[in-house]
Amino acid sequence: MSKRHRYLGLLILFGIALFVRLLYIKLYPADYLISSDGLTYSNIAENLLQGKGFITTIRDRDYAVGPVYPLLIAITYIFFGVKNYFAVVLLQAVISALTTVLAYLIGERLFGKAYAWIPYLLMLAYPMFSFWTIYVLTETTYIFMITLFIWAAVFYSQNVQRGKKHLSSTLLLGIILGLGNLVRPILLLIFPVLFFWQWFLHNWDFRKGLRDIILVGLAMSLVMSPWWVRNALRYHQFVAVTNYGAYEFYAGNNPYTVTDDFFVMAAKTYDPEVKARVEKLPVMEQEAEYSKLAKTYILQHPIQCIERTLTKAVNLFWKPLTVGEQEFFKFSGYQTDAWYLVLGLIGGIMGLVQFRRYGFVVLLTLYYSLVVSL
């Protein structure tokens, strides 16, 4: 197949995915587009366009959030007008469609062209993936970065296994990791998993595995360092990406933690006396105290922490949506969601059987579900 025909084929796949996303957007009224978090991102984008930098002026504190998403919003506002949330959603539809094409490319590398359509169709048809497109939130952009990271990992893996020079693919992995963390910092803790996988790929050659993980870390640090410098100058301390999230961490790791429902700020998953005491502190001291409380609880109750994390992962990630959740997401069909999970289980088994070829996808899935559940 010529390059021209290949690109035309990918363009058709993109067009189909974009059409599906636009149909899904049409199902929702305009007031679905923005939420309180979305207003914060929009406010940062507006301040950026006004020359004030990456700051929030509509909240009770100055939130540091990953700069990539507000920057995308700001660029959208330049071309389509400030607070044009629908334009942001349309951009996210494009990003979501690109993610679906990336799934095809990953499938092509892992399974060959004959089976590449399977991950494409799975990502194309899953309503939960389309749902997040309609919100001015980081989810769509972050899913794209995660998928791009998987593609880069597969590219790197195949270069290593084929004995090819892989310096560029190693650095690319770090660059994408850095950009992904500047959207949402969930992959900051992936280095032990990534090192284990690289060590394994190099046939347990510790030196080669260590060399590659250092290169990934250096590339990631180079991408993220401007943000680190900015945060150090503004907050007079090291802030990797964000300066919030400690309360959520505490809410997931204390005697009152709930394991069978999604976290919401209003949930009473905390000790009232502790919260009353901590909230009297300055904001940044609150973050430090909540983080300290959560870490202390984990260290004092390691077995319970592991059990709770596994329970939360199962309840939140590895069970089909309830009827109420399906109605909210406009997703009809318990069995459909269950089949997606079954296919995921089959994929996990395949990954374990052929770990060298598919193992990283399994490791990343486990890492993500456990870290988010923590």
pLDDT tens, 258-299?
776 655 555 567 778 888 888 888 877 888 888 888 889 888
- In this predicted structure, the answer to whether residue 254 has a pLDDT above a threshold of 90 is no
SS3 content of the chain, % helix, strand, coil (to 5): 75, 0, 25
Instruction: Give one DSSP letter per residue of 48-97, joined into a string.
Output: HHTT--S--SSSSS-----SHHHHHHHHHHHHH-TT-HHHHHHHHHHHHH
Q: What pLDDT, in 10s, does the model give residues 135-187?
A: 899 999 999 999 999 999 999 999 998 888 889 999 999 999 999 999 998 88
Dihedral sign, Cα of residue 46, residue 51, residue 52, residue 53: positive
H or E segment and range at residue 32: none
- In this predicted structure, the answer to whether residue 229 has a pLDDT above a threshold of 90 is yes
pLDDT at 267: 58
The residue ranking higher by pLDDT, 374 or 7, is: 7
- Give me 230's structure tokens: 């900015």
pLDDT at 47: 94
- Average model confidence (pLDDT) for the chain? 85
The residue ranking higher by pLDDT, 209 or 272, is: 209
Of 152-166, 235-249, 250-264, where does mean pLDDT reach its minimum? Answer: 250-264
- Per the CB < 8 A criterion, the answer to whether 47 and 56 are in contact is yes
Angle at 172 between CA 163 and CA 48, to 5 degrees: 175
Domain ranges of the chain: 163-241, 243-373
pLDDT at 272: 82
- In this predicted structure, the answer to whether residue 326 has a pLDDT above a threshold of 80 is no
CA–CA dist 21, 174 (Å, integer): 30
pLDDT at 327: 66
Q: Which of 217, 197, 215, 199 is nearest to 207 (CA)?
A: 199
Q: What pLDDT, in 10s, does the model give residues 194-203?
A: 999 999 999 9
CA–CA dist 362, 197 (Å, integer): 11
- Per the CB < 8 A criterion, the answer to whether 278 and 230 are in contact is no
Q: Which of 30, 43, 153 is nearest to 90 (CA)?
A: 30
Mean pLDDT of 103-109: 92
